[in-house]
Structure 1
Amino acid sequence: MTEETSTLTEQAPPPVRDWPALDLAGTAFDPVLAELMREGPLTRIRLPHGEGWAWLATRYEDVKLITNDPRFSRTEVTHRRVTRLAPNFAPRPGSLAWADQPDHNRLRKPVAGAFTVAAMKRLRPRAQRILDVLVDGLVHDGPPADLVERVLEPFPITVVSEVMGVPVEDRERVHAWTRQIISTSGGAEAADRAKKGMYGWITETVRARAGSTDEDVYALLGAAVGRGEISEEEAVGLAGPLQIGGEAVTHNCGQMLFLMLSRPELMARMREPQGRGAVIDELLRFIPHRTSVGLARIALEDVVLHGHRISAGDPVYVSYLAANHDPDVFPDPDRIDPDRAQRPHLAFGNGPHYCTGAVLARLQTELLVDTLLKRLPDLELAVPADQVVWRRKTMIRGPQTLPVTW
């Protein structure tokens, strides 16, 4: 990171702002985050759980720099009770989310082959068949229908289960665990029970797949443990967040389809296949993927940024949502503009912790949009947009139901 020169006068630290977990309907930008962005590029926040306060960076360039700077550590967070959104904090050894280099590359290597562009090309026909069966059922039963229940939930969960190697008979209970883990309802006890259930199942599965020569994630992890490249504990920590990935696709695609179905001009653009990619990228930039912020980092040494001293040991959050709405990078950021000059959005993160499943998520998003527009060209909302029910008490935002007709 480029530090400001030490000759600059240090500023007094900004006030600590409480940031509650708001239940926001629709795709509205978080008003607390908007206020924090107006206060300055570097502010301080207190979240509902954990202890103390943390710095928050909201500018696009600052977010990119911090997420690439080894002076800000994810691993150090595992030893602290940092202020956070999640009610339950139990980081596991092996989780890519908490790994710094060079451990991050070592841990990512065993599963990287399952998420390459080549692997996704091989997966595409199978994913298309899964989706076609779901849409066939939708068409057969006729309108109206809940698109979340019939397609947006089962499709990503099934595809992720295929990539991971989850047996068909176990998929429903694994999904129940992942759904509870991303929820903030039920408190720490419910989240802890779900994590214990899921990680216990993952442990058994990795052991059972140790001798497999298959190419799914659990087989790759079992083989890597057998070769001594990672420990069993690390394999389990690796698998958990990957297993949860289907939840994000469900709700992000739900937001995108809600916007398409409630804005005729956007749907008209989506009906032009040659320009569809630019529209999807702009929607990925625009939609509020999550509630609040994700995972923190700890400063390993003093860093001066925008006249503020981030001291060694201070927790630091970045907001990808804010970065994607930085007006210096995306003029008029609250407007959906597929024709804007393309700057890479940060919807899938940045730096070493760029989303492992980004290519898989993009594949599923494109298949969902392409297939639904082809099979149901007159798809529309079955209720007024303001009557769509949105998920509450969750870390990943999205519609709870999406009633449609055609």
Structure 2
Amino acid sequence: MTEVPVMPLHMQRARFDPVEALAQARENEGVTKVVTPFGQPAYLVTRYEDVREVLADPTRFSNQRSEAYPPPGAASVSKEELADMRAGQLLGMDPPDHSRLRRMLTPEFTVRRMRRLEPRIAEIVDAALDDLENSGKPADLVSHFALPVPSLVICELLGVPYADRAEFQHRSSRQLDMSLPIEERLALGREGRAYMASLVARAQADPGEDMLGMLVREHGDDLSAAELVGIASLLLIAGHETTSNMLGLGTLALLRHPEQLAAVRDDPSQVEPAVEELLRWLSIVHSGMPRTTTTEVEIAGQTIPAGQLLVLALPAANRDPALVAEPDRLDISRGAPGHVAFGHGVHHCLGAPLARMEMRLAFPALLRRFPDLALAVPYDEIDFRAYHVVYGLHSLPITW
């Protein structure tokens, strides 16, 4: 039997909350030495202002892995395959390479572009609610609603066949499961890239109106096939894993706060602030990419030499009293301005406008369709995804 790893401090949760030890690290030293799940020594940055400073400065804090910190499992990967794995992966790049790719994608994720998608997203939400209702109660909100909505949206946006969703959802979920052996997750990554390579080849032969087609038509001379595969793979995984877990976990959070649930259901003006507060309070992305110091730096009064790995504790930063008063209390009325759930700086989440729109449409539509929405099992039986890079729920049994 494979031994389940102990998660690093920044990934440890007590259901909705970061563990107490993480809050203590923020309140005491601010930066603490940890070991990553792959045995690498790192400094864990926990305070809001310090996390923002690191995120804002790609010059001193690099996203590109140094030779001292190769990707997990890299010893078993050839140099050629490693180059393919890195191609198009914006999260592992610094400017100007990052800027070149980001500039090509940004027009597809503007707020104006998202507004054009709003009617179609509303249709997708309503269809998923029909499916949920027709499935009969009790039902699993994750499999009938939280996962299908963002999956179909990103499939249509990218040009990925929705019929393939079960395959890529299963694959990406296991890729992000830190309890699985690295060899298995590397194999899943290879499968994912091979699948996306077939879609890229199809788009190159006959570019459609979707994002893959746009990239081939408008930037085909500037992007290699490996870069197209990397970009599309990143968008596919990020586009459904993050929003689906926000929808599932966010619904559970509202069910645990009935007055706030009623406000989201009944008062349209409360929906956008609620989405921001849920993003802050839940912080489903534990840390984002590790950074490497390119020079000696000082964080929280500690001197950190060049060439050191930094891990950012986003849940700790978003629960910092320096950001909001009573940070451990969910309060949708405050809207949580300035949170770092989407990151900050040049790597601020490209898909943030899309994710916000999906949540802004999905939460009130769900709560209005099922005004008596309730858990179908006791709260302490809910199964949280304790070992995943993206926090969330395995399932959410509901009734109405």
Answer yes or no: is 1:275 the counterpart of 2:270. yes
Could you report, residue by residue, the CA deviation over 1:305-336 in whole angstroms, capped at 9, with x for unpaired residues? Answer: 33322211111222222211111221211011
Equivalent residue number for residue 284 of structure 2: 289
Offset of residue 392 of structure 1: 3.9
Offset of residue 19 of structure 1: 2.8
> Structure 2 residue aligned with 1:334, among 328, 348, 353?
328
State the secondary structure of the residue aligned to 1:79: coil
Equivalenced residue count is 387
Pairwise CA RMSD: 2.7
Equivalent residue number for residue 26 of structure 2: 37
Residues 204 and 213, structure 2, Cα contact 8 Å, conserved in 1: yes
Could you report, residue by residue, the CA deviation over 1:334-387 in whole angstroms, capped at 9, with x for unpaired residues? Answer: 011233485311111100001111111111111210211221122111222222
TM-score by length of 2: 0.89
Counterparts of 1:166 and 1:243 in 2: how far apart (Å)?
8
Q: Which runs of 5+ in 2 are unaligned?
A: 1-6
Offset of residue 397 of structure 1: 1.4
Label 1:87 to 1:384 Cα distance change in 2 as closer, same or farther (>3 A). Answer: farther
Q: Which runs of 5+ in 1 are unaligned?
A: 1-17
Label 1:45 to 1:373 Cα distance change in 2 as closer, same or farther (>3 A). Answer: same
Label 1:363 to 1:96 Cα distance change in 2 as closer, same or farther (>3 A). Answer: same
Residues 76 and 297, structure 1, Cα contact 8 Å, conserved in 2: yes
Offset of residue 30 of structure 1: 2.8
Label 1:363 to 1:339 Cα distance change in 2 as closer, same or farther (>3 A). Answer: closer
Offset of residue 143 of structure 1: 1.8
Structure 2 counterpart of 1:278, which letter?
P
Equivalent residue number for residue 230 of structure 2: 237
Counterparts of 1:289 and 1:135 in 2: how far apart (Å)?
24
Counterparts of 2:396 and 2:263 in 1: how far apart (Å)?
21
> Structure 2 residue aligned with 1:66, among 48, 54, 75?
54
Counterparts of 1:224 and 1:178 in 2: how far apart (Å)?
28
Identical positions, percent: 33
> Structure 1 residue aligned with 2:396, among 386, 396, 402?
402
Equivalent residue number for residue 200 of structure 2: 206
Equivalent residue number for residue 54 of structure 1: 42
Residues 64 and 94, structure 2, Cα contact 8 Å, conserved in 1: no
Counterparts of 2:154 and 2:58 in 1: how far apart (Å)?
31
Residues 207 and 216, structure 2, Cα contact 8 Å, conserved in 1: no
Answer yes or no: is 1:356 the counterpart of 2:345. no
19-28 or 383-392, which deviates more = 19-28
Label 1:252 to 1:84 Cα distance change in 2 as closer, same or farther (>3 A). Answer: farther
Structure 1 counterpart of 2:43, which letter?
W
Q: How does 1:127-166 map to 2 (within 5 A)?
A: 127-166=121-160
Answer yes or no: is 1:193 the counterpart of 2:182. no
Counterparts of 2:351 and 2:292 in 1: how far apart (Å)?
25
Counterparts of 1:116 and 1:343 in 2: how far apart (Å)?
19
Label 1:130 to 1:340 Cα distance change in 2 as closer, same or farther (>3 A). Answer: closer
Counterparts of 1:224 and 1:130 in 2: how far apart (Å)?
28
Counterparts of 1:339 and 1:172 in 2: how far apart (Å)?
37
Equivalent residue number for residue 67 of structure 2: 79
Structure 2 counterpart of 1:170, which letter?
D
Structure 2 counterpart of 1:176, which letter?
H
Counterparts of 1:268 and 1:66 in 2: how far apart (Å)?
38
State the secondary structure of the residue aligned to 1:210: helix
TM-score by length of 1: 0.87
